[in-house]
Amino acid sequence: MLDYQDILQAAQRLHGHVLHTPCVASQTLSDITGAQVFLKFENLQFTASFKERGACNKLAQLTAEQSGRGVIAMSAGNHAQGVAYHAQRLGLRAMIVMPRFTPGVKVERTRGFGAQVILHGDTLDEARAHALQLAAEQHLTFVHPYDDEAVVAGQGTVALEMLTQVPDLDTLIVAVGGGGLIGGMATVAKTLNPAMEIVGVQTSRFPAMFNAIKGSQHPQGNSTIAEGIAVGTPGVITQEIIRARVDDMVLVDEGDIEQALVMLLEVEKTLVEGAGAAGLAALLKYPERFRGKRVGLVLCGGNIDPLLLAAIIERGMVRAGRLTRIRVGARDIPGSLARITATVAEAGANIDEVHHQRAFTTLAAQNVEIELVVQTRGHFHVKEVLEALCQSGFDAQTV
């Protein structure tokens, strides 16, 4: 099994080729969660993900013959960029097979690093099968995103840096897809401090490793905003390491990840993808478990589709009560809409959208139903707006 020395050697190979990212305390997140929170900003890597550590370590160990033929990888995006970038840096041919619905930002960045990108299949498993077929046909070296000791050793260097920067952490909370990151980090952490607790996080829509370790049978979904950890088949090598060195695993839901992503954007002014927010999502979902502990989180990736980000931010505003829909019943006469909008404005809210409904309503025929999408300061402000409308003689309620 992979050991600490393997990761020390990986760190030597990576020196000068990947960024030594900061690991800093977050006072605001600490206040919110009740734990002392330290964030490792792997989203600041050149490819915006820790994945280039494992890719670089693997490519650095290729033989001259393997280097001459080139490499191939399958990935939902971050591993692809890591392989493509370091292959370009080393002058290697790189072919990347990605699922067809991989976010466009990841596809284009991978192509931008000079790799040949092939979109194939709807899942990582389908992409993997095609990549293995191409590897055999074209005699390319397959660079697995997680089930390879060289890759896992590279990912483990994240923990080497974290525990140099903040040696006295009590707990590491790590996102888990195939298990490469947590496998490497747990190997380091348990060597340096056997008492440290290592907790893995998976999304409830892709609980493959959770099921394998826990013996549970949670169903697998079709999609998740944390596509970076949407792995249907857990790694064999990584599963063995997790069984031996990881203390526990937990599941988080889509809403938990969305909340964490928006919080990191607002509080830390840092952009992460869904997988990068999984650790904070677990901390927010299970606060009692980690209260009072010194907790390290890895912001493991920052590659997110702008349209998805916009949708998540908007949904976060809805959850916080800062964006709400209000339905108002009024007489269908000139001036009614003006009175409604004036009332909302006087209450300090801003109207985004206005929709009239005359046919599909149970109101009297001479009335109209007006639906407003309103920006407010929070749930308390929504109540103030509703009270102002009611005091002005309108029948108003949130939708």
pLDDT tens digits for range 305-351:
888 999 999 999 999 999 999 999 888 888 889 999 999 999 999 99
- pLDDT number for residue 161: 98
Give the pLDDT confidence score for residue 241 in this predicted structure: 98
The residue among 262 and 107 whose pLDDT is bigger is 262
Please state which of the four CATH numbers 3.30.365.10, 3.30.70.260, 3.90.1170.40, 3.40.50.10860 is assigned to the domain occupying 321-398.
3.30.70.260
Please tell me the predicted confidence (pLDDT) of residue 108: 86
Greater confidence (358 vs 165) lies with 165
CATH 3.40.50.1100 region(s) of the chain?
A: 4-50+148-315, 52-142
What mean pLDDT, rounded, does the chain reach? Answer: 94
Q: Pick the more confident residue, 358 or 102.
A: 102
- Specify the CATH number for 52-142; select among 3.40.50.720, 3.40.50.1100, 3.40.50.1220, 3.10.20.30: 3.40.50.1100
How far is residue 35's CA from residue 30's CA, in Å, rounded to a whole number? Answer: 5
Is residue 71 pLDDT above 70, yes or no? Answer: yes
CATH 3.30.70.260 range(s) for the chain read 321-398
Alpha-carbon distance of 196 to 176, in angstroms, equals 18
CB 128 within 8 A of CB 99: no
pLDDT at residue 59 is higher than 80: yes
* Nearest by Cα to 150 from 8, 54, 86, 82: 54
Q: How far apart, in whole angstroms, are the C-alpha atoms of residue 390 and residue 278?
A: 42
How large is the average pLDDT for residues 92-103?
Answer: 89
Q: Bigger pLDDT: 158 or 78?
A: 158
Among 4-18, 76-90, 223-237, top mean pLDDT goes to 4-18
pLDDT of residue 367: 80
User: Among 271, 145, 255, which residue's Cα sits nearest to residue 203?
Assistant: 255
Average pLDDT over residues 251-273: 96
Strand partners, 210: none
Identify the pLDDT of residue 125.
Answer: 79
CA dihedral for 214, 215, 218, 223, sign (positive or negative): positive
| Whether residue 64 has pLDDT greater than 80 | yes
227 contact partners, CB below 8 Å, separation of at least 6: 76, 77, 102, 103, 273, 274, 275
Please state the rounded mean pLDDT for residues 186-209: 97
Residue whose structure tokens are 């005359």: 358
**Bridge pairing between strands 36-40 and 23-26:** antiparallel
Position 329 scores a pLDDT of: 87
Least confident piece of the model among 48-57, 181-190, 231-240, 293-302: 231-240
* CATH 3.40.50.1100, domain 4-50+148-315, yes or no: yes
pLDDT over 70 percentage in the chain: 98
